[in-house]
Amino acid sequence: MDILQLYQDFSVDHRTEGHKHCRPGWVNTECPFCQGNFGYHLGYDLQSNHYYCWRCGWHPAIPTIAKLIHLPFEETKTIVRRYGVLFSTVKETKMKIRAKAHKLPTGTGPLGTNHIKYLESRGFDPTYLTQEWGLVGTGPVSLLDGIDYKHRIIAPVIWDNTEISFISRDITSKHPLRYIVCPQDRELMLHKDVVYGKQDAWSDVGIVVEGITDVWRFGSKAVATFGIEYTHKQVRVIAKTFKKVYVCYDDDPQAVIQANKLVADLKFRGTDAKRIPIVGDPGGMKQSDADYLLKQLI
């Protein structure tokens, strides 16, 4: 589809480069589904003809275009045909050999004093997390494919007993990006096609949270969607795994919107789902409070 021509004809502000959310093969606009102005974070993939927002996730093409050009749905369907519309469904991603081997950044090793102090300052038990989640850390020099991973905790992402990716967390509170993920061409599976957690510990009831630290707080009954911008593949995994789900995202307005949206998507698939409102974020809770809430839910 000639999305660039459509945007030009209907004066839709867009970017293909020069912004932190732009990447090759995508056309970015402001997302009409998000509250607030977060920048050009709604992307249109020129290859597979689908929309994805880094903040709130996947969106169907025609309704999205209708919002962007401010026209009714039926009229938009007629218009897009003039631009060679050929919307496709993103294919399932299977585990496969990537162009580059999966590996951790240089300088990765056992947690050091600075990593331990960081975890303890947040009320975590470093020894337990290392044993339970396989955490390792990086020092003052750490690189992978030109990306700087220095002074970070590295959390492996395990799926079907295989390390498919990793997530890194800055421990200095100085880096503009708190989390940096494994380069995509080194992932055995895209991390957003799965959820973070322990598959062998799941039961009929689960808690869905945003990030890895939230899972560390709630334990093995929790799964994370790696942010509030969950994917339809993650919804399928969650719905297939659990009969009852409690969604416990942060309390900021956009997170609440996404949590309610996830609850609705899960209910549509026949899963008993409910949002659990909290103050702040689960990862920042006292362990005793998290344990008490967990006991009430499961």
**Which tens digit of pLDDT belongs to each residue from 114-146?**
999 999 999 999 999 999 999 999 999 999 999
Phi/psi of residue 247, nearest 5 degrees: -95, 120
Burial class from Cβ neighbours inside 10 Å (0-12, 13-18, 19+) for residue 174 reads: exposed
**Which tens digit of pLDDT belongs to each residue from 73-107?**
888 888 888 887 544 444 444 444 455 889 999 99
How far apart CA 180 and CA 202 sit, in angstroms, is: 27
How far apart CA 277 and CA 259 sit, in angstroms, is: 10
With b for 16 or more beta-carbon neighbours within 10 A and e for fewer, the 107-119 pattern comes to bbeebeeebbebb
How far apart CA 174 and CA 140 sit, in angstroms, is: 14
The whole-number pLDDT of residue 82 equals 83
Domains of the chain: 3-83 (3.90.580), 108-191 (3.90.980.10), 199-297 (3.40.1360.10)
Which residue is listed with tokens 């459509």?
6
The whole-number pLDDT of residue 93 equals 42
Least confident of 49-53, 249-253, 280-284: 49-53
How far apart CA 59 and CA 130 sit, in angstroms, is: 37
